[in-house]
Amino acid sequence: EKEGGGGSLWREMWPFSKPKPDVSAPSRVECYNNRDFYFECLDKEGEGSEKCKALEGKYHGTCMKPWVKYFDLQRKRLKVQGKDWVSPNMEGDRGSNKP
């Protein structure tokens, strides 16, 4: 085939290629909401609580790995400073629209 025809098919079939992560607004909102529900559960039930396992799965399942790592690190830093997690999520259901 000419330009693009066979090349794009080859890229789709290449065994090492990954689908691009979905960073659309609805996907981000889902990630942020699941993060917030999970963090709220941890605050209420305690770190490592079995009651939070399902929420942890949703959080990890809807957020990209680098985001999870970043959010977890943010939360740990706040805990060290003696502060509670307050969602900076302006797009999701749990956020504040304060600057």
pLDDT tens by residue, 46-69 = 988 999 999 999 999 999 999 999
Per-residue pLDDT for 9 more than 70? no
> Do the Cβ atoms of 95 and 32 come closer than 8 Å?
yes
Longest dimension (CA), the chain: 62
- The domains of the chain are located at 25-86
84 vs 37: CA distance, rounded Å? 14
For 8, the 3-state DSSP assignment is helix
pLDDT at position 22: 61
- Provide the token pair at 80: 């060290």
pLDDT at position 61: 95
Q: What are phi and psi of 86, to 5 degrees?
A: -125, 120
In which residue are the tokens 């209420």 written? 44
Rounded to an integer, the average pLDDT of 26-38 is 91
Percent of the chain with pLDDT over 90: 47
